[in-house]
Structure 1
Amino acid sequence: MSILIVTGSGGLIGSEVIETLAPEFDLAIGIDNNMRASFFGEYGDTTRRRRHLETNVSNYRHYDLDVRDRDGLISLVRKNPPDLVVHAAAQPSHDLAARIPFDDFDINAGGTLNLLESTRRANPECVFVHMSTNKVYGDSPNRLRLTETKTRWVYANKANADGIDEQFPIDQSCHSIFGASKVAADVMVQEYGHYFGLRTCCLRGGCLTGPNQSGVQLHGFLNHLIRSVVLGQEYTIFGYKGKQVRDNIHSRDVCAFIREFYRVPRLAEVYNLGGGVDNSISVLEALEAVGRASGRTPVYSYQNTARTGDHICYISNLSKIRVHYPNWKISTSLEFMIEEMVDQMRVSEQAPRPSYHIP
């Protein structure tokens, strides 16, 4: 029996992986205890997404399990030895991490170790994909020379024109507490490849997004911005004149790469995975684009203090991933992403929200 295990299965990437890849396996197991609801409140709740999977994916089985539960995780994985594990569960906010450092590290670093060791014991031939983050680079990208334009910051040196590659240093910089816990997880995933021979990869994501994201102010930049504009709510810009730049990748394109890696796995690999130059946008540009797409006038305020460890300009260099997996490509444009999320937001905000419990 072929088995797929996905942690964070109610979230953006986890749920997309289940929908996209579950038909290729006999059994798809989702692990998610909806911690987003306790982290972020109503808009972080993933109950609706879980119910969708349970209703529409016939071979899906959901487990309300915390990745910090080592014994529970070991037991579940042992009984269901996986062929592919996609680890998408995390405490995802670098702002929130500073207020809950123990929880942040226990979930991001400890939970990752629990899953790695559970997987190795159950099936050492398993393919293990870890959703890491570009925050492992800390604020080192801010040391690159930048040029200010009317609406964004751009890399001044042509050598950086395609963005940040995997050779960029990950230490000797300010990461935020979240970034530090994700570094620990990232390096441990690599080590299980180097030391134990587990076929692992770390996907250091830029801004992963899509209509199924439960974006909030502390996590999910573009989705949260779109909701704010569509609902006529005030959006807050934090520092850098609103000209900070992010590259955005649709969750479908993330899943497409995971499929490629599963088919031809490598050992202890690291990839920067984002939308690249073509799907990059600043906050100011995003407000304008969403205003056009929605027909609404964005309302926003500005705080001159940037978030600790935040990037001024971050674009994922996709050269390595394209060389290793030439069949993979970005299929969804930034313009389509925005239009899709605007349309989805209009529909979803008219529907009643499920009740949820904050543990």
Structure 2
Amino acid sequence: MKADRDLRPVLITGGAGFIGANLADRLASAGHRVLLYDALARPGVERNVDWLRARHRGQIDLRIVDIREEAPLSAAVGQAKAVFHFAAQVAVTTSLSDPIDDFETNAAGTLRLLEAVRRHAPETPLIFASTNKVYGDLADLELALTPGGYRPLDRRIAENGVAEQRPLDFHSPYGCSKGAADQYVLDYARSYGLRTAVMRMSCIYGQRQMGNEDQGWVAHFLIRALRGEPITLYGDGHQVRDILDVSDAVDAYLAAWAHIDRIAGQALNLGGGPRNAVSLRTLIAHIGRLIGSEVELRQAPWRKGDQHWFVADSRAARAALGLAEPRAWREGVADLAAWLTDEHAEVSAQVAAQ
């Protein structure tokens, strides 16, 4: 979306993170000013801020602040022409160990943001990054184990994925906090007429992702493999996810802003869909081919709430937002591997020079 005469910045909460930084780059490239609102709690995200500032001098502002602090949040919202809300506690495992912090960040933080919009900028669009975890563990689906991983016996679901009409079923404190936030965002459109919408994301991967074992697993697998370190599979490794390149995710968020009055009050699934559905073992085998060596695997018990299979039915989002078919996962993963190789070489050189 090209910049217009409105010189107010676009506010991205969690803007120093993986998706936020990619969105900020696209917005700044189109001429928008961008306000990154981030606590910088995730290790390594400072590099994203440095990268953005180097590429877009004078267009990137940063406020290092927690989403739970009401006064600075209201001030940031009051000057923004659009809000993209990515700030969150992002790991199921962390939510299990500290559910209070998880709730205060994800649910209460989102409610504070919505109140800031309602009170200070009621015409400003807000688009919220939700999660496929709002659909629960999908334990009711009958699955068959195939050479490519788990697959639903219900042909319609297997061919299209999980649609937005699926009943919500929050599992884990993380699922509850993100699910509550999801519903608050939708209700503020109903109750107060705000221009808000929800994107329920599946697994997003791509450049600038600094994945770890709990979140950003595609990048995590690549990082471990590139270092020659073993990858731990929780469960049998035949879990299937639909993975989406971050460039396609950014396209969707920008289109959501452009069409906010068409989709206000709606939740849309955002994922790679059946064409980009891949099991963990299939992805790891592909990584082995990319790096030219077999990846060592270790086994661990299943984790709570882990879905054996999840593929998003993103047809509603593609139709409402005019989105193209997403990038093929093998191509995107190869590009991420190349970026990670360069990124880690650069970081290692910086450390050696210190």
Shared topology, TM-score over 0.5?
A: yes
* C-alpha spacing 1:285/1:145, structure 2 compared with 1 (3 Å): same
Q: Secondary structure at the match of 2:325?
A: coil
Partner residue, 1:100: 98
SS of aligned partner of 1:144: coil
Aligned counterparts of 1:331 and 1:282: Cα–Cα separation in 2: 18
Q: Report deviation, 1:159.
A: 1.8
Helix, strand or coil: the match of 1:52? Answer: helix
Q: State how 1:205-354 maps to structure 2 within 5 Å.
A: 205-239=201-235, 241-265=236-260, 266-303=263-300, 305-325=301-321, 327-352=322-347
3-state SS of paired residue (1:98): helix
Q: Does the 8 Å CA contact 2:27/2:33 hold for their aligned counterparts?
A: no
Residue 47 of structure 1 deviates from its aligned partner by 1.2
Q: In the aligned structure 2, how far is the partner of 1:300 from the partner of 1:2? A: 49
Question: C-alpha deviations, 1:290-315, integer Å up to 9, x for none?
Answer: 11111121011011x21111110000
After the TM superposition, which of the residue ranges 117-126 and 129-138 deviates more from structure 2? 117-126
> 1:97 touches 1:177 (CA, 8 Å); kept in 2?
yes
The answer to whether the Cα contact below 8 Å between 1:153 and 1:245 also exists between their aligned partners in 2 is yes
In 2, the alpha carbon distance for the partners of 1:90 and 1:126 equals 21
Contact 2:239 2:307 in 1 (8 A): yes
Deviation at 1:54, TM superposition (A): 1.7
Q: Which residue of 2 aligns with 1:14?
A: 20
1:50-199 alignment to 2 at 5 Å?
A: 50-58=49-57, 59-78=59-78, 80=79, 82-139=80-137, 141-161=138-158, 162-171=160-169, 175-199=171-195
- 2: CA distance between counterparts of 1:167 and 1:329? 22
> Does structure 2 retain, via aligned residues, the 8 Å contact 1:194–1:267?
no
Spell out, residue by residue over 1:105-158, the C-alpha distance to the aligned partner (whole angstroms, 9 max, x if none): 11111111111111222221111110000011111x221111111240011111
* Structure 1 counterpart of 2:287, one-letter code: V
Aligned twin of 1:42: none
Q: Deviations over 1:198-249 (max 9, x none)?
A: 111111110011021110001111110111111111111001x210001111
Q: Provide, for residues 306-357 of structure 1, a one-character-per-residue CA deviation record: whole Å limited to 9, x for no partner.
A: 11111100000012112212x21234210111111111121111123679xx
RMSD between superposed Cα atoms in Å: 1.5
> What letter corresponds to residue 154 of structure 2 in structure 1?
N
TM-score w.r.t. the length of structure 2 is 0.93
Matched, 1:31 2:30: no
Secondary structure at the aligned position of 1:350 is classed as: helix
Distance 1:255 1:182 in 2: 20
What one-letter code is carried by the residue in structure 2 that aligns with 1:283?
L
Q: Evaluate the alpha carbon distance shift between residue 230 and residue 26 of structure 1 in structure 2; reply closer, same or farther with a 3 A threshold.
A: closer
CA contact (8 A) 2:222 2:287 kept: yes
Q: In the alignment, does 2:207 pair up with 1:203?
A: no
Distance 1:95 1:165 in 2: 26
For 1:213 and 1:27, the matched residues in 2 are separated by 23
Q: Any conservation in 2 of the 1:3–1:25 contact (CA below 8 Å)?
A: no
- 1:29, 1:61 within 8 Å by CA — same for their partners in 2? yes
Extract unaligned runs of 5+ from structure 2.
Answer: 1-6
2-side partners of 1:320 and 1:35: how far apart? 34
- 1:25, distance to aligned residue in structure 2 (A): 5.3
Q: How many residues align?
A: 340
- Aligned-partner Cα distance in 1 for 2:280–2:252: 27
Equivalents in 2 of 1:26, 1:251: separation in Å? 20
Percent of counterpart pairs with the same letter?
Answer: 29
Q: Which runs of 5+ in 1 are unaligned?
A: 38-44
CA contact (8 A) 2:162 2:312 kept: yes
